[in-house]
Chain A
Amino acid sequence: MEYVFAILVGLLMSASIYLMLSKKLVRVLMGIAILGNAVNLLIFTSGRLTRSVPPFIPEGSYLPLEQTANPLPQALVLTAIVISFSFLAYFLVLGYRAYQELGTDDVLEMRVAEPKGEEKPPLGY
C-alpha cells in the first residue's frame, strides 16, 4: 500500500513543481496548494499504513490490547494542514493585491522592488 501512496505523492509533487516553475503567479499559488497536500500525504504515509483499530486504550489497562494505528502522523498532518491552509489564504490575498497594485500577474514583470536599469554606484573616488 505504501508504494501506491509513494507514487501518488511523487505525481503530486511533480505537478506542483511544474506549476511553480510558471511565470504566472496564479499557477505558482496552485502549485503551492498542491505541494501542501502532497506533503501531508507523505507524512501520513511515512507513519506506515496499516489496517488496524484507532489508538484507544480500554478502561482499566495501561496498554492497547492489539496493534493500533500510529496517531503521531495524524497529529503532524493536522498541524501542517492548518499552517498550509492559512498560508494559502494569505497568498491568495497577496496575489490579488499584487495584481491590483502592479497590474500584472507575470512574475518577470514585477520589477518595482528591483527596477531594470538601476543607476550604478559612484564609480570613482
Chain B
Amino acid sequence: MVTQPVQGADWLLVLPLLLTMAGGAVAIMLRKKTAVQPWIAIGVISLVVVSNLALLSHVLQHGVVTIVMGNWLPPFGIAFTADPMGALFALAASIVALCAAIYATGSIEASERRYGFFPFLILLLTGVTGAFLTGDIFNLYVWFEVLLIASVGMIILGNDKAQIDGGVKYAVLNFVATTLFLIATGLLYGLVGTLNMADIAIKVSELEGQGPIYGIAALYFLAFAMKAAAFPVNFWLPASYHTPRIVVSAVFGGLLTKVGVYALLRVVLMLMPETREWMGSFIGFVAIITMLSGVFGALAQTDIRRMIGYLVISGIGSMLAGLAVGNQIAVAGAIFYAAHSILCMTALYFLAGLMFNIGGSFSMRELGGLYTKSPLTAGCALVLLLAVAGLPPFSGFWPKVMLVEGALADGRGLVAASILVTGVLTAIAIGRFWIFCFWRGGPEGTEDGTLVPQADGSVAANAVSLPANITLSLGALTAIIILVGVFPEGVMAIVSKGAASLVDPNAYVQSVFGVWP
C-alpha cells in the first residue's frame, strides 16, 4: 500500500511524460518558426533520454517502482509502474526518437515543419513512453490512442497520392485494432471490476481459469497482434510503411509494432498466465507463420523500403515465439529482441534514406555500385543487415540464442527450428540486398564493374559526401548495435530481471499494493 509521501526519485516515472507533453505544446505554439522547431524537439527529447536513463538505473537498483496520480490509492487511482522491461523499452524509444529528430533536421522541409512534424514526433514519444510506463489498462488504451493520433498525422505529411492510399489502410485498421482492445477492456472490467494491472493480476489468478477470461484473452491477443503486425492481420504494414517520409517510416518501424509486442507481453503473459498456456500452441503457430511469411515477403521485394517492412514483420514473429514458449529465458529473449528491433529497424530505414540520397532510387534494380561511392555506408549497412539476420557479433544474435534455448528447454523444437530457418532465409535476403545495392559495379543496364575504383585515384571523383545529420543519427544507432552485440552482459541482466517480473508478477504487485493481499 502506498502510504508514504512520494519519493523524489519516483517522479522519474512521470518526468518523461511531463517533458514531452510540455515540449509538444511549445512546439505546436511555435509551429510557424520552422527554424526553431528542430531545436525544441532535440532539446526536449535529449532531456527525456537522460530522464529514462536515470529511471532505468533507479529500477535496476530498487526494483519495480510505482507512483499513483493524485494520491488516490490503488486500485482506484491511475498508477504508473515501471519494471525493467518498461524502463528499457522507454529508453530505447527515446534514443530512437532523438536520432529521428536529428535526421529530420536535414530532411523535413519547411512546409512539412509547418504541418507539424516535430510536434507529432514529440507527442508520438509521449504516447509510446506512456504505454511503456503505465500500470492501468484503460490508461494503456489512452496512450495507444495518443500515439495513433500522432502517427496518423505523420503518415500523411507530404500529401502524396501514395501517402493518402497508405494512410487510409493504416489508420482504419489500427483504429479497429485499438477498438478491439477497448472492447476487451470493457469485458474485463465487467468480469473483474478493476482496471489497475496489479489488481487484475490478483483477481484473474483468483478466477482460476473460470468464466469468460479465455474469450477476453483471445480478444486481447487479436487486438495486440493486429497492432504488432502478426501474420493474418499484418497486411496494413507493407501497404503503408513505405509511403511516408523516410524518417517517419523509421520511427514507425522502430516503435509502433513494438508497442503491440510490449502490450502482448504485459497483458497476455503477465496478467493472464493460465490463458497464455491455453493459447501457447496457437501463438507458436502464429509466430512461425509470421516469421516465415515475413522473410519470404522480404525476398520478393524490389523496393528496399518495402523489403525492410517485411523484415519488421519477420522480427515480430521471433518476439511472438518468446511469448508462445513463455519460460523465463524465452521471454527475456523476446524482450531483448524487441529492444534490438527498436534500434535496428529505425537504423535500417535511415540507411534506406541515405541510399536514396546517394543512389537516387529506392529500387533494388536501379541501385548499385554504392560501395565505390561511399565505403563507410556500405560497412554500416553490412553491420545493420547482419544484425537483423541475427548473425554474431551484433545485437541480433543474443536474443535469438536465448529464444532458441528457451524453446528447446520447453520442448518446442518446431519453434526453435523455425527461428533458425528464418535466420538462414534472412541471411539470403540481406545478402542479395547488399550485393545488389552496394557490391556490384553499377545499377542494371550499366556494364558491371565500370564503376570499380581505379588505381589512379578515380575513387575520389566517384565518392560522395555524407550529410552530417544522417551520419550522426545512423552512426549513433550503429554504434549502439555493435556495442550491445560485443558486450551483451548488461542488457542481458536487464532483460532477465524484466522477464522474471513478467513470469512472476509478485514484485510488480508488491510495488503497487505493498503485499500480495
Contact = CB atoms under 8 A, between A and B. Distances in A.
Interface of A: 20, 25, 28, 32, 35-36, 39, 42-43, 45-48, 72-73, 76, 79-80, 83-84, 86-87, 90-91, 94-95, 97-98, 101-102, 107, 110-114, 118-122, 125
Contact of A45 (B162, B168, B190): B190
Interface in B323-350: none
Given A84-B179, A110-B165, A121-B299, 7 more contacts: A43-B185, A45-B190, A79-B142, A102-B161, A110-B168, A119-B302, A121-B302
A interface secondary structure, majority:
helix
Contacts of A79: 138, 142
B145 A43 contact: no
Given A35-B176, A121-B432, A122-B364, A112 B165 contact: yes
Given A47-B189, A113-B239, A102 B171 contact: no
Interface in B192-228: 195
Contacts of A112: 161-162, 165
B301 A121 contact: yes
Contacts of B163: 113
A45 to B, nearest CB: 7
Given A94-B156, A110-B165, A120 B300 contact: yes
Contact of B436 (A76, A120, A122): A122
A113 B162 contact: yes
Given A87-B175, A119-B365, A121-B364, A94 B165 contact: no
Given A43-B182, A90-B152, A121-B432, A113 B165 contact: yes
13 contacts: A20-B176, A39-B179, A46-B187, A80-B182, A83-B142, A87-B149, A90-B152, A94-B168, A101-B164, A110-B169, A113-B163, A120-B300, A122-B365
B interface secondary structure, majority:
helix
Contacts of A20: 176
A107 B182 CA distance: 26
B172 interface: yes
A97 B168 CA distance: 10
Contact of B171 (A72, A76, A94, A110): A94
Contact of B172 (A32, A39, A43, A48): A32
